[in-house]
Structure 1
Amino acid sequence: MDFTFTNEQIAFRDSVSRFLMSEVAPDTLREIWETDGGRSPELRRMMAAQGLTVLAVPEAEGGLGLGDIDWALMTQELGYYAIPDSLADAAYVGAGLLAGLPGDNAVRATWLPRIADGSCRIAVGHPVNPWVADAALADLLLLAHPVQNGIELHALTRDAVEVIPQASIDGSRRLAQVRWDPCSASRVADGQTGRALWEEALDRGAVNVAGQLVGLAQRMVDISVDYVAQRKQFGKPIGSFQAVKHHLADVVTKIEFARPVLYQAAYALAHGGTHRALLASHAKLACADAAWNAARKGIQVHGAMGYTWEVDLQMYAKRAWALDAAWGDRAFHKDRLAGALLGESAPLGPLASFNNNMDS
Structure 2
Amino acid sequence: MRFALDSSHQDFAASIDALLTKSDMPSVIRSWNDGDTEPGKKLWQRLAETGVNGLVISEEHDGLGADAVDLVVALEQLGRHAVPGPVVETIAVAPTLLASVAPERLSALAEGSLATVAAPPRTPFALDANAVDLVLLAQDGTVSLGVPGEAKASVDLSRKLYEVSAGESLGSADFSAAFDMGALATAAQLQGLGQTLLEVTTEYAKQRKQFGKVIGQFQAMKHHLAEVAVSLEMARPLLHGAALSVRDQSADASRDISAAKVACGDAAYKAARVGLQVHGAIGYTMEHDLSLWLTKVRALLTAWGTPSEHRARVVEALVAS
Per-residue CA deviation, residues 161-193 of structure 1 (Å, 9 max, x unaligned), is 242111111111121111236xxx51422xxxx
Q: Is residue 39–residue 172 contact of structure 1 (8 Å, CA) maintained in 2?
A: no
- The aligned counterpart of 1:78 is 78
Q: Is residue 38–residue 84 contact of structure 1 (8 Å, CA) maintained in 2?
A: no
- The aligned counterpart of 1:356 is none
CA distance in 1, matches of 2:30, 2:128: 19
Question: How big is the shift at 1:115?
Answer: 0.7
CA distance in 2, matches of 1:172, 1:88: 14
- Which SS does the other structure have where 1:64 is aligned? coil
1:188 to 160, 171, 179: 171
Q: Give the aligned residue type for 1:239.
A: G
- Which SS does the other structure have where 1:284 is aligned? helix
- The answer as to 2:197 corresponding to 1:235 is no
Between Structure 1 and Structure 2, whose CA radius of gyration is higher? 1
CA distance in 2, matches of 1:304, 1:341: 43
| CA 39–331 in structure 1, closer or farther in 2 if over 3 Å, else same | farther
Q: Is residue 129–residue 148 contact of structure 2 (8 Å, CA) maintained in 1?
A: no
- The answer as to 2:157 corresponding to 1:171 is yes
Question: How big is the shift at 1:55?
Answer: 1.7
2:222 to 239, 242, 245: 245
- The aligned counterpart of 1:319 is 296
Q: Is residue 79–residue 189 contact of structure 2 (8 Å, CA) maintained in 1?
A: yes
- The aligned counterpart of 2:31 is 31
Question: More deviation in 311-320 or 137-146?
Answer: 137-146
Question: More deviation in 326-335 or 132-141?
Answer: 132-141
Q: TM-score, normalised by structure 1?
A: 0.85
Question: How big is the shift at 1:37?
Answer: 4.9
- Which SS does the other structure have where 1:177 is aligned? strand
Correspondence list, 1:150-161, <5 A? 151-152=141-142, 154-156=143-145, 161=147
- Which SS does the other structure have where 2:171 is aligned? strand
CA distance in 2, matches of 1:14, 1:319: 22
| CA 33–217 in structure 1, closer or farther in 2 if over 3 Å, else same | same
The answer for unaligned runs of 5 or more in structure 1 is 347-360
- The answer as to 2:115 corresponding to 1:122 is yes
Per-residue CA deviation, residues 190-225 of structure 1 (Å, 9 max, x unaligned), is xxxx22xx1111111111000000100000011101
Q: Is residue 56–residue 95 contact of structure 1 (8 Å, CA) maintained in 2?
A: yes
1:212 to 184, 189, 209: 189
> Which stretches of structure 1, 4 residues or more, deviate above 6 A after TM superposition?
none
- The aligned counterpart of 1:288 is 265
CA distance in 2, matches of 1:41, 1:253: 35
Q: Is residue 213–residue 291 contact of structure 1 (8 Å, CA) maintained in 2?
A: yes
| CA 46–14 in structure 1, closer or farther in 2 if over 3 Å, else same | same
Per-residue CA deviation, residues 93-127 of structure 1 (Å, 9 max, x unaligned), is 2112222x2xxx6x212x11101111x22111223
The answer for unaligned runs of 5 or more in structure 2 is none
- The aligned counterpart of 1:108 is 103
